[in-house]
């Protein structure tokens, strides 16, 4: 019997009532008394010297309150980078300044030059058109390899080159890896691109800055996945506002996918300007602005090689990747191609020697940072494409080659510095094969052939590292933050429970699944538990939501705080029942004394805590409220096996996905329905990357895919009905819920399945010259590859 | 968007009068014009809505058996009401954009705009339609003058489009993955006096008739007749979504499929 409440139940998402009936409260729904509006004048050239910004005509336009330029921010800090990577030679990465408004130069199309604050949004925009710019256009660098040539124009004049860092991992293993390649019985090589993506959250970014002259308090309402992080970064590094004078509120947020982790110029601007003009200042991004200001994702160019011995055991992996940083370092950009990518290069396999080289490059493009999966999709894609290619070259079954090399003993220390605590890759592969009827494939392929189509099957595995992360470890790796999570559990006198979490929900359903955890532990109905998040004024310092960390880290903090609550409540119950604390049991919201028929209800205990007439006041404080901070011991390692079946139309190159199956091991699952939903969304984004989405720049740095007319998002009819399964469970060994996280898996595991399937289809159709096609596999690209 | 005046005439005459004003522009469904205005790339002083002129809305069949569609008829209405008279045209209208676009966008707006990737131009040219305006009748062959260029004069309104109904017909649309306009669309129609093949999406000169295919199909209306041809030559579009060679290839494939399905 599936559970109908608590941990393991598919409770309906309580937040959907307001989301689906238009009662959500998003940042753009917030309008403050006396609010002014800002319009940003942005660069329309990719690279240029900013000789003059003449605002004189614009100042006199109707409704204009004040116009700001880079000069206004000269005494103010720049946007900080939260992660410092150390290069192969032990030197820190090159870290350029990132002003709130451009100073001296513009470095990408969309770089903000001036900000007009006016009575209405239209007046602000009208006045922005009257600003006269003198920009001397400079040659732009767009292609990463060209950007590293000695004569390339420099994005940042004060840096020695466009190279941010040249990272080697594990540098000490390099010689041994090279040697393994020289001894290999077979080497498979693959060059590929991991295409640049635009995140496209349904809700564009919005910021409202407010300043209270009476108290000298600043408040920022913003579309953020991590309001405390924004408060810390903006307060400490940009505006110099101490945290007790700065409140950051991220109310309902309509999707983030990583793009709302980062601290953006517009947030700092609205907070700064509100104080400067003594009025609230609001900015709402247009979709066009989103394309040129939200941090992009991916954009790696990679060469990867696999060495195998004569028995087809993997003996070494070597990679060289160019990772695009864009024009500035976005908040966590340097960590994505390094610690979130290199550490995953072992995948699900027992490869003893691995060397990963990553060159991060500045270009005149929008900054690139974490996007659903962040580094792990890039690692998975190269590895799983490579293993497929190796199987084809060796003439062995791609599933068998994978199984032969699977890690089967846990814990397993990889040669890339992480330790997988648990997993069972054969179990998810077995489950997958059970789901897809592989034996029936040939018959399906024959039917496709009769219809003039080529059918292909692609299978792959993935592993990811979630639940980021042990603070001490990430500190050693260059993070300028801790990555714990927090929760305060506040029990009210009549037994209702409010949980204030440092995690943030922007669509994941935390209000439902977090309530399930706490309600289950205490044994009260879920409706008795309320989840509060998103406001630094009423939640403990937390690091927010990304990297599939919320249930693993945020949920663990909640468990710890709830354990403290239960411990104290038992003391109160013991007092009420005149029993000893050690004999008290809590079940279904009732405290009992073991071996007796004595009991008190949860509500009696909570009432006693707040109306302490009969209460052990000398030993115990009244009240029932506890906070816990949880710092994980390790990452968590969800893993699984995915399969995609496609049909390719040989006349047009069009790929149709016939079926997609995902067998995941997420450890214990709190709400199976929500987990399936997370996988569905991830798969749609992964399929979008594989078949449709691509950020495209021309050689002058103009964005060609600047609207939905040219940037192809997946629509409902681009994706099949998914088969998803998460019944293979190896619980995480180091967190109290045994959970691993599920938010990114779909986006990580699906691109290689799609591409493997298309290559399989083409090979079955006799086009054996097609070793690889770079994503997105648009009809035009597939057709070109077929005829290449 | 800049501020503008809004006129909502009830008759064609009133609309023509309103359009004579300074920087006045006709508004059909606004599916092209409004986004352009939002981006501040167009700034008409007055928008003259054609959506409340009853004589310009609806589908009927005239005495000659031609399907007549009012110039301000939305695609969704054509999809519904032309289905019995000219199914291929109704199907074409029913696959333009999404429901919102089909409920607002109009045939007159589409033909006036003459987007090189739009569907209606292929139907009009492929059917040898007559584009009726407030001043004259224009044969489709004389109407399309190149990408976003038409024979319409300033202030001239498309009031109706008349389509002769073919014996055999099919429209094949291969969608551009992002916009889902036609990357290449081919409209093949067989009339008693000959076959017409109109191609949209492919050429930087806008919609065109593929003469070689028409000649081949006049001799033998079969897919095999197309298979024997080389792809059309001419100024094919090359962009993010496909090269000129790919588009030329698609023209041939889609023509063959249209013939097979007609
Ligand atoms: C998301 C999206 C997807 C689309 N997909 C497709 C597609 O797949 N295939 C396709 O063919 N089209 C597509 N379109 C275009 C759409 O079908 C409209 O037909 C087109 O945008 C113009 O029609 P409209 O009535 O909206 O004209 P408007 O936008 O109102 O006007 C366009 C131009 O025509 C002029 N005009 C309007 N009506 C008349 C008239 N009666 N006489 C003279 N001039 C007039 C206007 O002054 C303006 O210059 C799409 C549009 C969108 C927004």
- Mean pLDDT, residues B194-199 taken together: 98
Q: Is residue A764 part of a domain?
A: yes
Q: How far is CA A585 from CA A520, A568, A599, A624, in A?
A: 14, 12, 9, 18
List of chain A residues whose C-beta atoms are within 8 Å of the C-beta of residue B246: 780, 783-784
DSSP tag of A477:
T
Note whether A269 and A306 are same-domain residues. no
Choose among A122, A651, A711: nearest Cβ to B178.
Answer: A711
pLDDT per residue as tens digits for the range A298-330: 999 999 999 999 999 999 999 999 999 999 999
Angular region, A394: left φ>0, alpha ψ -120 to 50, beta rest = alpha
Question: What was the pLDDT predicted at A788?
Answer: 83
Are A692 and B246 in contact (CB < 8 Å)? Answer: no
Three-point CA angle A688, A692, A696, nearest 5°:
115
**Cβ of residue B106 lying under 6 Å from some atom of ligand 1:** yes
Distance separating alpha carbons of residues A318 and A305, to the nearest angstrom: 5
**Cβ of residue B32 lying under 6 Å from some atom of ligand 1:** yes
Identify which of A470, A424, A363, A391 has the alpha carbon closest to the alpha carbon of residue A142: A363
Secondary structure E strands in A345-469:
353-362, 412-413, 419-420, 454-463
Three-point CA angle B46, B48, B53, nearest 5°:
165
**Cβ of residue B113 lying under 6 Å from some atom of ligand 1:** yes
Note whether A233 and A333 are same-domain residues. no
Are A778 and B241 in contact (CB < 8 Å)? Answer: yes
Note whether A616 and A521 are same-domain residues. yes
Choose among B242, B243, B253: nearest Cβ to A651.
Answer: B253
**CATH code for the domain of A406:** 3.30.365.10
Distance separating alpha carbons of residues A550 and A509, to the nearest angstrom: 11
Report residue A503: phi and psi, to 5°: -70, 165
CATH number of B58-163: 3.30.465.10
Alpha helices in A555-699 (DSSP H): 555-576, 602-610, 672-691
Residue whose token pair is 């054969």: A426
Question: What was the pLDDT predicted at A95?
Answer: 98
- Interaxial angle between packed helices A398-405 and A376-394, expressed in degrees from 0 to 180 and rounded to the nearest 10: 120
Final residue in a domain of this structure, among A630, A650, A680: A630
B168-261 CATH fold:
Enolase-like; domain 1 (3.30.390)
Distance separating alpha carbons of residues A118 and A115, to the nearest angstrom: 10
**CATH code for the domain of A254:** 3.90.1170.50
Note whether A432 and A531 are same-domain residues. no
Q: Is residue A576 part of a domain?
A: yes
Ligand 1: which atom is nearest the Cα of residue B56? 41
Domain that holds residue A101: 35-83+96-138+205-284
Question: What was the pLDDT predicted at B1?
Answer: 84
Identify which of A368, A325, A276, A279 has the alpha carbon closest to the alpha carbon of residue A69: A276
Question: Closest residue (by CA) to atom 18 of ligand 1?
Answer: B105
Distance separating alpha carbons of residues B6 and A570, to the nearest angstrom: 72
List of chain A residues whose C-beta atoms are within 8 Å of the C-beta of residue B183: 779
**Cβ of residue B97 lying under 6 Å from some atom of ligand 1:** yes
Q: How far is CA B93 from CA B33, B81, B158, B262, in A?
A: 19, 11, 17, 17
Final residue in a domain of this structure, among A259, A284, A309: A284
Note whether A495 and A616 are same-domain residues. yes
Note whether A341 and A441 are same-domain residues. yes
What DSSP letter does each residue of A664-712 carry, written as one string?
EE-BS-S-HHHHHHHHHHHHHHHHHHHHT----B-TTS-BS--STTTS-
Q: Are strands A281-284 and A36-42 parallel, antiparallel or unpaired?
A: parallel
Ligand 1: which atom is nearest the Cα of residue B182? 8
Q: Is residue A23 part of a domain?
A: no
Angular region, A258: left φ>0, alpha ψ -120 to 50, beta rest = left
How many CB atoms sit inside 10 A of residue A412's CB? 17
Domain count for chain A, please give it: 3
Q: Is residue A19 part of a domain?
A: no
Residue of A nearest to B239 (CA): A704
Distance separating alpha carbons of residues A584 and B188, to the nearest angstrom: 83
- Residues of chain A with confidence (pLDDT) below 70: 1-2
pLDDT per residue as tens digits for the range A162-173: 999 999 999 999
Are A710 and B242 in contact (CB < 8 Å)? Answer: no
Note whether A383 and A526 are same-domain residues. no
| Nearest CA-CA distance, residue B239 and chain A, Å | 10
Q: Are strands A48-54 and A132-137 parallel, antiparallel or unpaired?
A: antiparallel
Identify which of B141, B195, B200 has the alpha carbon closest to the alpha carbon of residue B169: B195
Note whether A416 and A272 are same-domain residues. no
**Cβ of residue B119 lying under 6 Å from some atom of ligand 1:** yes
List of chain A residues whose C-beta atoms are within 8 Å of the C-beta of residue B179: 708-710
Final residue in a domain of this structure, among A572, A601, A630: A630
Are A710 and B241 in contact (CB < 8 Å)? Answer: yes
List of chain B residues whose C-beta atoms are within 8 Å of the C-beta of residue A291: none
Distance separating alpha carbons of residues A130 and A61, to the nearest angstrom: 8
Note whether A327 and A418 are same-domain residues. yes
Are A696 and B240 in contact (CB < 8 Å)? Answer: yes
List of chain B residues whose C-beta atoms are within 8 Å of the C-beta of residue A709: 178-179
Q: How far is CA A602 from the centre of its chain?
A: 39
Note whether A464 and A506 are same-domain residues. no
Ligand 1: which atom is nearest the Cα of residue B158? 42
pTM value is: 0.97
pLDDT per residue as tens digits for the range B161-192: 999 999 999 999 999 999 999 999 999 999 99
Contacts 24+ apart (CB under 8 A), A402-408: A402/A348, A402/A349, A402/A429, A402/A459, A402/A461, A403/A429, A404/A312, A404/A313, A405/A312, A405/A313, A405/A314, A405/A349, A405/A350, A405/A351, A406/A348, A406/A349, A406/A350, A407/A346, A407/A348, A407/A349, A407/A350
| Nearest CA-CA distance, residue B137 and chain A, Å | 33
| Nearest CA-CA distance, residue A748 and chain B, Å | 22
Q: How far is CA A308 from the centre of its chain?
A: 33
Q: How far is CA B262 from CA A688, B186, B259, in A?
A: 33, 12, 5
Question: What was the pLDDT predicted at A1?
Answer: 58
């Amino acid at each position: 019997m599936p559970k109908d409440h608590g941990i393991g139940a598919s409770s309906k998402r309580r937040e959907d009532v307001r989301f689906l009936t238009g009662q959500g409260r998003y940042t753009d729904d917030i309008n403050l008394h006396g609010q002014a509006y800002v319009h940003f004048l942005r660069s329309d050239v990719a690279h240029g010297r900013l000789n003059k910004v003449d605002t004189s005509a614009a100042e006199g336009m109707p409704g204009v309150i004040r116009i700001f330029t880079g000069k206004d921010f000269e005494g103010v800090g720049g946007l900080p980078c939260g992660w410092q990577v150390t290069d192969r030679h032990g030197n820190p990465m090159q870290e350029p300044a990132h002003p709130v408004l451009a100073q001296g130069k513009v470095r990408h199309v969309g770089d903000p030059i001036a900000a007009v604050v006016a009575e209405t949004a239209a007046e602000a925009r009208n006045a922005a058109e009257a600003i006269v710019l003198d920009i001397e256009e400079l040659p732009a660098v767009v292609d990463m390899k060209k950007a590293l040539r000695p004569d390339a124009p420099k994005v940042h004049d004060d840096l020695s080159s466009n190279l941010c860092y040249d990272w080697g991992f594990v540098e000490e293993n390099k010689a041994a890896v090279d040697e393994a390649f020289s001894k290999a019985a077979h080497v498979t090589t693959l060059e590929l691109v991991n295409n640049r993506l635009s995140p496209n959250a349904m809700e564009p970014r919005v910021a409202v800055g407010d300043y209270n002259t009476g108290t000298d308090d600043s408040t920022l309402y913003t579309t953020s996945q991590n309001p405390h992080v924004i408060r810390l970064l903006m307060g400490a590094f940009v505006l110099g506002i101490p945290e007790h004078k700065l409140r950051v509120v991220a109310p309902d947020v309509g999707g983030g996918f990583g793009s709302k982790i980062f601290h953006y110029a517009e947030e700092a601007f609205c907070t700064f300007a509100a104080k400067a003009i003594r009025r609230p200042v609001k900015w709402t991004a247009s979709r066009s602005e989103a394309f040129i200001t939200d941090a992009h994702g991916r954009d790696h160019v990679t060469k990867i090689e696999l060495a195998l011995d004569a028995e087809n055991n993997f003996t070494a992996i070597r990679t060289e990747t160019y990772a695009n940083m864009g024009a500035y370092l976005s908040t966590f950009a340097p960590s994505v191609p390094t610690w979130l990518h290199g550490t995953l290069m072992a995948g699900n396999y027992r490869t003893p020697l691995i060397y990963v080289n990553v060159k991060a490059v500045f270009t005149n493009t929008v900054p690139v940072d974490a996007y659903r999966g962040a580094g792990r999709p890039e690692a998975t894609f190269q590895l799983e494409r490579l293993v497929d290619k190796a199987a084809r070259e060796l003439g062995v079954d791609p599933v068998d080659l994978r199984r032969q090399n699977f890690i089967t003993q846990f814990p397993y220390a990889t040669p890339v510095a992480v330790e997988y605590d648990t997993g069972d890759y054969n179990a998810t592969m077995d489950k997958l094969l059970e789901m897809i009827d592989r034996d029936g494939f040939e018959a399906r392929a024959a039917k496709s052939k009769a219809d003039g189509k080529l059918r292909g099957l692609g299978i792959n595995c993935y592993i990811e590292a979630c639940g980021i992360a042990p603070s001490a470890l990430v500190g050693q790796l260059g993070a300028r933050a801790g990555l714990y999570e927090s929760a305060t559990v506040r029990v009210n006198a009549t037994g209702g429970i409010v949980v204030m979490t440092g995690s943030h929900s922007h669509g994941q359903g935390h209000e439902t699944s977090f309530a399930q955890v706490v309600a289950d532990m205490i044994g009260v109905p879920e409706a008795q538990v309320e989840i509060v998040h998103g406001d630094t004024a009423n939640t403990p310092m937390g690091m927010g939501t990304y990297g599939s960390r919320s249930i693993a880290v945020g949920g663990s903090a909640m468990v710890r705080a709830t354990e403290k609550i239960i411990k104290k409540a038992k003391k109160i119950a013991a007092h009420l029942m005149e029993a000893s604390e050690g004999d008290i049991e809590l079940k279904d919201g009732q405290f009992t004394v073991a071996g007796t028929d004595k009991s008190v209800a949860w509500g009696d205990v909570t009432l006693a805590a707040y109306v302490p007439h009969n209460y052990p006041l000398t030993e115990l404080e009244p009240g029932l409220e506890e906070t816990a901070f949880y710092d994980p011991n390790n990452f968590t390692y969800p893993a699984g096996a995915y399969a995609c079946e496609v049909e390719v139309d040989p006349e047009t190159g069009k790929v149709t996905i016939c079926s997609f199956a995902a067998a995941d091991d997420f450890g214990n699952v709190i709400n199976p329905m929500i987990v399936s939903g997370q996988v569905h969304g991830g798969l749609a984004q992964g399929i979008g990357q594989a078949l449709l989405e691509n950020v495209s720049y021309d050689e002058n740095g103009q964005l060609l895919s600047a609207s939905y007319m040219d940037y192809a998002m997946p629509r409902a009819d681009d994706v099949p009905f998914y088969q998803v399964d998460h019944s293979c469970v190896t619980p995480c060994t180091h967190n109290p819920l045994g959970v691993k996280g599920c938010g990114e898996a779909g986006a990580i595991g699906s691109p290689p399945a799609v591409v493997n399937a298309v290559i399989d289809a083409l090979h079955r159709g006799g086009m054996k010259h097609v070793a690889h096609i770079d994503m997105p596999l648009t009809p035009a690209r597939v057709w070109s590859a077929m005829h290449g | 968007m800049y501020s503008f005046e809004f006129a909502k005439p009830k008759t064609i005459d009133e609309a023509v009068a309103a359009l004579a004003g300074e920087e006045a522009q006709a508004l059909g469904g606004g599916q092209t014009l409004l986004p352009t205005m939002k981006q501040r790339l167009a700034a008409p002083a007055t928008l003259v809505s054609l959506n409340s002129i009853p004589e310009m809305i609806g589908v009927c069949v005239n005495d000659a058996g031609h399907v007549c569609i009012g110039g301000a008829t939305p695609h969704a209405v054509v999809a519904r009401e032309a289905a019995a008279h000219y199914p291929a045209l109704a199907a074409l209208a029913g696959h333009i954009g999404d429901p919102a676009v089909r409920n607002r966008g109009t045939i007159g707006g589409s033909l006036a705009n003459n987007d090189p990737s739009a569907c209606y131009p292929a139907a009009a040219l492929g059917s040898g339609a007559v584009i009726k305006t407030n001043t004259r009748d224009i044969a489709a062959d004389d109407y399309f003058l190149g990408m976003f260029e038409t024979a319409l004069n300033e202030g001239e309104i498309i009031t109706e489009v008349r389509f002769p109904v073919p014996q055999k017909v099919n429209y094949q649309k291969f969608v551009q993955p992002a916009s889902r306009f036609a990357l290449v669309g081919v409209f093949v129609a067989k009339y008693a006096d000959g076959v017409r093949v109109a191609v949209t999406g492919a050429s930087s000169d806008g919609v065109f008739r593929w003469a070689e295919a028409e000649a081949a199909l006049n001799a033998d209306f079969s897919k095999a007749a197309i298979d024997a041809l080389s792809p059309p030559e001419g100024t094919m579009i090359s962009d993010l979504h496909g090269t000129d060679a790919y588009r030329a290839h698609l023209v041939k494939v889609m023509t063959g499929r249209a013939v097979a399905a007609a």
